[in-house]
Amino acid sequence: MEITIPTKWSDVTIGNYINLRPVLNSDLQPIERVVNILAVLTGQKRDVIKNISLDQFKSIKKKMSFLETELPNKLKDKRFKIGGQWYEFKVDARKLLFGEYINSMEIIQNAKDDQEAIFNNLHHILTTICRPVKKTIFGWKHIKVDGEILRKTADNFLNNMPITIAYPIGVFFYSHSEDLTKAIKTSLMDQAKKMTREAKKELDLLRDGDGGVH
């Protein structure tokens, strides 16, 4: 039976890592631990994994040694390409959609009691601070997003983003969660005030116009 597995952290996607964390943090016996890790990384059932030869087991275990090393906690580049699309890491609460605001607040709230909430929702968190961009003759420009683009982005991150990119951003999000909460709330209040001012101006114009309100 031929088994192909990642040999370095950059080969592990967010989806892989979300499923790996419970196994890596468990107190399983060494052999059972390896079997469970292989089941996650290969997508094979545990019964299938148990049929590999002893020589294969030794070879695979050696290839998996990278799992014992630390993940990087600093992001090398603020711009990166995932699944054929370029993205840029930038914290800007003013660009959040209202639905993103709600999701971010829920994740931050849950993370206060359980750090795993951050890692289990990494692909959703990343859509709020990693926006799709395109290169033009004037430089890099942000692509306008909506609910559909955000859903596709989250799926792309889950299935294709290396954990070496996602993990440093997750650490940033967790360590700055209180500041981010304040920034998001402030931005939302500013947007509400702006909308109120604009609505008031429109109403004043209606009152002053020929077909105004009487």
pLDDT in tens, 70-96: 888 888 888 899 999 999 887 654 554
Lowest mean pLDDT among 47-56, 80-89, 193-202: 193-202
The strand ranges marked E within 13-149 are 79-82, 85-89, 130-136, 139-142
Structure tokens belonging to residue 164 = 């070496």
CA distance 167 to 71: 7
The length of the chain is 214
Lowest mean pLDDT among 60-69, 96-105, 135-144, 166-175: 96-105
CA distance 85 to 132: 7
Q: Which residues pair with 80 in a beta bridge?
A: 87
Contact between residue 17 and residue 163 where contact means Cβ atoms under 8 Å apart = yes
- pTM comes to 0.71
Cα 170 to Cα 2, 44, 100, distances in angstroms: 34, 28, 16
At 168, is the pLDDT very low, low, confident or very high (cuts 50, 70, 90)? confident
Q: What is the per-residue pLDDT for 15? A: 93
Residue 4: which H helix or E strand, with range? none
Q: What is the per-residue pLDDT for 85? A: 95
Q: What is the per-residue pLDDT for 11? A: 93
- Would you state the torsion angle of the CA atoms of residues 91, 97, 103, 109, taken in this order, to the nearest 10 degrees? 50
